[in-house]
Structure 1
Amino acid sequence: MIPHHTLTGPADAPVLVLANALGTTTELWRDFALPFRLLRFDHRGHGASAPTQGPCTIETLAADVVDLLDHLELRQVYYCGVSLGGMIGMWLAAHTDRISRLALLCTTAWHPDKSGWDERVETARTLGLEPLADTIVARWFTPSFSPAVVAHFRSELLKVDVPSYIACAEAIRDMDLRPDLAKIDVPTVVIAAAQDHATPPECARAIADELPDSELYIVGDAAHLAVVEAPRTISVILDDHFGND
Structure 2
Amino acid sequence: MAHVQLADGVLHYQLDGPADAPVLVLSNSLGTDLRMWDEQVPIWTEHFRVLRHDTRGHGESLVTEGPYSIEQLGGDVLALLDALDIEQAHFVGLSMGGLVGQWLGINAGSRLLSLTLCNTAAKIASDEVWNSRIDTVLKGGRQAMLDLRDASIARWFTPAFAEARPAAAQRICQMLAHTSPEGYAANCAAVRDADMRDQLNHIQVPTLIVAGSADAVTTPAHGRFLQAGILGAEYIEFAAAHLSNVEVGAPFSRRVLDFLRSR
Structure 2: distance between partners of 1:120 and 1:132: 9
Please state how far the C-alpha of 1:115 moved relative to its aligned partner: 1.9
* 2:198 aligned counterpart, secondary structure: helix
1:20 is aligned, of 28, 31, 50, to: 28
Please state how far the C-alpha of 1:50 moved relative to its aligned partner: 1.4
Structure 1: distance between partners of 2:34 and 2:77: 14
Matched, 1:225 2:233: no
> Could you tell me which residue of structure 1 aligns to residue 116 of structure 2?
103
AA aligned opposite 1:126: K
Structure 1: distance between partners of 2:62 and 2:126: 30
1:161 is aligned, of 180, 199, 210, to: 180
**Off by >4 Å, runs of 4+ in structure 1:** none
2:98 is aligned, of 74, 80, 86, to: 86
2:86 is aligned, of 66, 74, 87, to: 74
Structure 1: distance between partners of 2:176 and 2:132: 18
Q: Which runs of 5+ in 1 are unaligned?
A: none
2:72 is aligned, of 43, 60, 78, to: 60
> Could you tell me which residue of structure 2 aligns to residue 240 of structure 1?
258
Instruction: Give CA deviations for 1:201-228 in whole Å, capped at 9, x if unaligned.
Output: 11100111010121011101x1101100
Q: How does 1:38-49 map to 2 (within 5 A)?
A: 38-49=50-61
Structure 2: distance between partners of 1:10 and 1:74: 14
Matched, 1:8 2:16: yes
AA aligned opposite 2:39: D
Please state how far the C-alpha of 1:155 moved relative to its aligned partner: 1.8
Contact 2:69 2:190 in 1 (8 A): yes
Please state how far the C-alpha of 1:117 moved relative to its aligned partner: 1.4
Contact 1:111 1:173 in 2 (8 A): yes
1:150 is aligned, of 169, 174, 184, to: 169
Q: Which runs of 5+ in 2 are unaligned?
A: 1-5
* 1:4 aligned counterpart, secondary structure: strand
How many aligned residue pairs are there? 244
Contact 2:203 2:230 in 1 (8 A): yes
Structure 2: distance between partners of 1:154 and 1:28: 10
AA aligned opposite 1:90: Q
2:223 is aligned, of 204, 213, 221, to: 204
Please state how far the C-alpha of 1:112 moved relative to its aligned partner: 5.5
* 1:61 aligned counterpart, secondary structure: helix
Structure 2: distance between partners of 1:230 and 1:112: 24
How well do the aligned residues superpose, as a CA RMSD in angstroms? 1.2
AA aligned opposite 1:226: S
Residue identity over aligned pairs, in percent, reads 39
